[in-house]
Amino acid sequence: MSRKVTAKMAKSSMAGPGRRERRRRRLGPTPRPAGGAGRGGPGRAGPGRAARTARGGMGGPRRLLLVSNSTLHGGGYLGHCQQHIKSFLGEKVKRVLFVPYALHDRDAYARTAREKFESLGYGLDSIHESCDPVEAVRKSEAIFIGGGNTFRLLKALYDNSLIQEIRKRVLEDGIPYMGSSAGTNVATVSINTTNDMPIVYPPSLQALGLVPFNINPHYLDPDVKSTHMGETREERIRQYHEEPNTPPVLGLREGAMLLVEGDKATLQGVTGARLFLRGKKPTEHEPGTDFSFLLIDSDLQNL
């Protein structure tokens, strides 16, 4: 090999990461499309994967509104959080892209969502009505993923090649993302802490990874008067944390939601949340709690 070629190769190796590597670092971890294989085992995040989430790209910081539930007892669809939605979306957003994949009857679901968002002053397009879901995401001003069955939802996101497209729009382009229930589940590291039955099998349990921890929507406290002998929600989350390298889990009670703006995360709503860290006792938190530390790029399971 000539000295000229050798010098050229050495110069190339010292030039630092290329365009593809720089983009990968900016977006954070790529959810694996099959099996969740790796050092963390099937369907689990491997060491460090739980906490590698981007802060937002050139379009601005990530903006997320992660709601525990769509309907609160005594109210209508999204009634308990409609003011939060208006404040979150603001006046710049004119139309919202709705993802109804978590329910079987997507037409009826879209009608319900469209009626609500139009009453708040926003137009709504449902992704299932588009002939090109990927292009619909690329053109969207804001994304709302509704609740239902989390396994069905995640499978549809993979089947339609939307995982990376949504991540790019939210983390790199900075468009607002709103999720409720299952839509909140898929915004996290994985769907391991969903409450739903696996009625279908997605290619991986790895989700969008917009935040580096997991959420348990509809979190229920144990009923001391109940004679039910099955596991409580807290016991199931503890079982999850018995596995190695599992990230924090935020149990959002119905009526609670998490607002994420860049590197700041704040608990909002009318109820509190319960935080579970591997190897630690769970802690109680009221609305207004600053959860920004959960967004830190580190292995939070070791806190």
Active site residues: 181, 196, 218
For residue 298, give both structure tokens: 């580190």
CB 146 within 8 A of CB 183: yes
CB atoms within 10 A of CB 277: 19
Triad 287, 66, 260: Cα angle to 5°? 75
Instruction: Give residue 85's identity as a one-letter amino acid code.
Output: I
N-terminal to C-terminal alpha carbon distance within the chain: 51
Q: Residue 163: what are its φ and ψ, rounded to 5°?
A: -60, -55
Q: Which residues contact 132 (CB under 8 A, 6 or more apart)?
A: none
CA 176/CA 61 separation, integer angstroms: 10
To which residue do tokens 């290329």 refer?
18
Alpha-carbon gap, residue 248 to 68, rounded angstroms: 16
